[in-house]
Each structure stands twice: as structure tokens, then as C-alpha cells.
Amino acid sequence: MKSSQTTIKDIARRLNLSVTTISKALRGMPDISAPTRQLILDTAREMEYEPNPIAQSLVRNQTHTIGVIIPSFTIPFYASAISGIQQTASEAGYNIMVCQSNESYETETNYTRVLLNSRVDGLIVSLARETTNFDHFNRLAERSLPLVLFNRVCDAVPASKVVVDDFEGAYQVVRHLIEMGCRRIAHIAGPANLLLSRQRLQGYQQALQESGLPVCEDFIRTGDLTIASGTRITEDFLKLDTSPDAIFAICDSAAFGAMQTLKSRGLRIPDDIALAGFTDEPVAAIVEPALTTVAQPTFEIGQIAAQLFLDQVRGGESYQPTTQVLKTHLVIRASSQKKSRVS
């Protein structure tokens, strides 16, 4: 005996009214008399009626569900960003369905398909590291489905975007390293297909140039944002004839990798070599020495991404994609504060 949920029909039968009347009353349409409406509302509550969103989805052709694709749940940045997305979405009556691409292009396209088949109302996405083809997203635009990119975005897709000012963030932290007396600053870069990699690289270069420091190719190596790439590239740096006196890593993970290598070589941070990252993951404050880094408003990035999504839903065809650029702020910790300079 399956105790199925109360439906609009049950209420209609009980009250000897038509389902239409019930439906209208429940949704507060104006053409139902006050007493009838009250009666229906009371009865619905008494019978513990809950509308079936599946049926509503079928007729309205929208699910109130947002598909979200992120590279990985285990990157703290995304954990926080999802929280922000969910909060804003939830307040607007939307559910989210989150999938992780595991940095794989194939998995990303696959989940794009799965989510669309599940009839989500649109997508909020942060690109996989290896994604360089964007056809699967362009197809969204063709169907005029909302799409918002955040953090890992690219130029090739016409969609609303949420990013931080990567250029400025990188510029500031490298300026800081220079002010601390560093003159040979190396950079662990990220995959060139990601806009943020290029912009952080440019901020780094700009800061060097403005201070009259040379931009040396040997001091720039491209990694894949992982701890492992941080350790590997740092080893390379240390093999150079003149090794760097500071390293600016594209992200905190790479910086942690660098930190491991430096420590294992017996180098003192920051006295022998200073270190800085990007994002300000919670761990950055805990490692030793605590990591100087560029803080991003991770939760807020998620909230804004969701908000842009909702705007797009409401704007309909006339909606014009926008790009929101948020500010970062420099967090100076022990890994960059050379004792020799402390006055």
C-alpha cells in the first residue's frame, strides 16, 4: 500500500470543486472568491498537500534546477564558491546539481550532456584545466540556455562571467616581493588556455618591468596548478645558474609544492627565498611559514555567479552577457617578510 502524496485532484474531490479552481486558488490567482480560496488553502494544509514540481516542470518546461560543473570538489576555492552559489540559488527557489569534471575535458562534456538531458535550466561552469574546445558550451547559447562562467573562464564563449582582477592581484603581490628586496623573482605559471593564467602572468611581468627588473624566460615555467607541478618546477628553478630569490606561484597549491621542495633542500623561507601564492586557501595561514598570498572573495564569487544566472533567466532573450571583475586583496604573511628588512 503505497501512501502516495496528496494531489490537487484529491483536494478537488474532497471539496467538490474542479482541479482548475484548486490550482488557481493555490497559486493566488485573482479570480477565486475569498471564502473559497481560504477553504482550499486550509484543506490543502490539512491534507499536507505539496505541489509536485515534476508535473510543474513538465508543463512549464523549466525545472528550477541549475547545473554546476567545477573542476573538483576538493579544491577549497570551489567548495566555498559552491556554497555561495547554493545560497543565492536556494533563496530564489532554485536547486543546484553539482558535477566535477576532474579537470578532464571528456568528463566535462559528458556532464554537460547529462545535465542538459536532465533538463536543467542552464549551467554555471568553471572550466577544466585541459578544456580548449568550447563547442559544448556554444551549443547552450544556440538553445538560448543561460550560461555563467566563473574563475576559470575563456574568451571564446559568449556568456556572463565572474572573475577577480587577476592581473592586479598578481601585480600587487609581485610589487610586494620587490619591495621586500627580491630581485630575481620566478613565476610558476598555469595552463595558457585559462585566461587567469595569462593575466596573472601579465601582472607579474608588468610589476617587474615597472621596477626595471628583467623578465627572464628561465624564471617562467608552466605547470598545471597542482602541488606536484609546484615541487617539480621549483626543482627546475633551483638548477639554474643563478637561482631565484623569490617565487610567485599561480595558486596556493603550487606554492605548497614549492614550499615542500624548498624545505627539503634546506632553504630558509623567506630569508633564502621568498614565496607567494594566489587564492588564500585556509591552509595558507596554517603552513609554516604562513603563506603570503592574494585573497579572493570565493563565497561572493559563487553568489554573484548565481545572481548573474538568475538575471539571465529573468532577462530572457534580451539579456546581454556581462563580466563582473571582483577585487582581490594582498595578504602578507611570513613567507615573504625577509627578516633582514624588518625595521
Report the interface residues with DNA, using CB under 7 A.
4-5, 7-9, 16-21, 23-24, 26-27, 30-33, 36-37, 49, 51-52, 55-56, 58-61
Q: Of 170 and 247, which has the nearer Cβ to a second copy?
A: 247
Least distance in angstroms from the C-beta of 263 to a second copy: 8
Inter-residue contact 268 to 308 (CB < 8 Å): no
Alpha-carbon span 300 to 207, nearest angstrom: 27
Alpha-carbon span 257 to 260, nearest angstrom: 5
In this structure, what DSSP letter does residue 325 have?
Answer: E
The partner in contact with residue 76, picked from a second copy, DNA, none with C-beta cut-offs of 5 to 8 angstroms by kind, is a second copy
C-alpha cell at 293: 598570498
Q: Of 204 and 278, which has the nearer Cβ to a second copy?
A: 278
Q: Of 185 and 251, which has the nearer Cβ to a second copy?
A: 251
Alpha-carbon span 41 to 301, nearest angstrom: 40
Least distance in angstroms from the C-beta of 39 to a second copy: 23
CA distances for 64 relative to 94, 117, 167, 193, angstroms: 5, 14, 36, 32
The partner in contact with residue 145, picked from a second copy, DNA, none with C-beta cut-offs of 5 to 8 angstroms by kind, is none
| Cis previous bond, 289, omega within 30 | yes
The partner in contact with residue 45, picked from DNA, a second copy, none with C-beta cut-offs of 5 to 8 angstroms by kind, is none
Q: Of 61 and 74, which has the nearer Cβ to DNA?
A: 61
Least distance in angstroms from the C-beta of 343 to a second copy: 24
C-alpha cell at 126: 568553471
Inter-residue contact 196 to 328 (CB < 8 Å): no
Per the DSSP assignment, residues forming a β-bridge with 331 are 293
The partner in contact with residue 17, picked from a second copy, DNA, none with C-beta cut-offs of 5 to 8 angstroms by kind, is DNA
The partner in contact with residue 24, picked from a second copy, DNA, none with C-beta cut-offs of 5 to 8 angstroms by kind, is DNA
Least distance in angstroms from the C-beta of 309 to DNA: 22
Angle, CA 28 vertex, CA 26 and CA 34 arms, to 5°: 95
Alpha-carbon span 343 to 340, nearest angstrom: 8
Interface with a second copy by CB under 8 A: which residues? 2-4, 50-55, 57-58, 61, 63, 65, 72-74, 76, 79-80, 82-83, 86, 90, 95-100, 114, 117-119, 142-144, 256, 259-260, 282-283, 286-288
The partner in contact with residue 73, picked from DNA, a second copy, none with C-beta cut-offs of 5 to 8 angstroms by kind, is a second copy
Least distance in angstroms from the C-beta of 234 to a second copy: 15
Kind of pairing between the strands at 220-222 and 274-276: unpaired
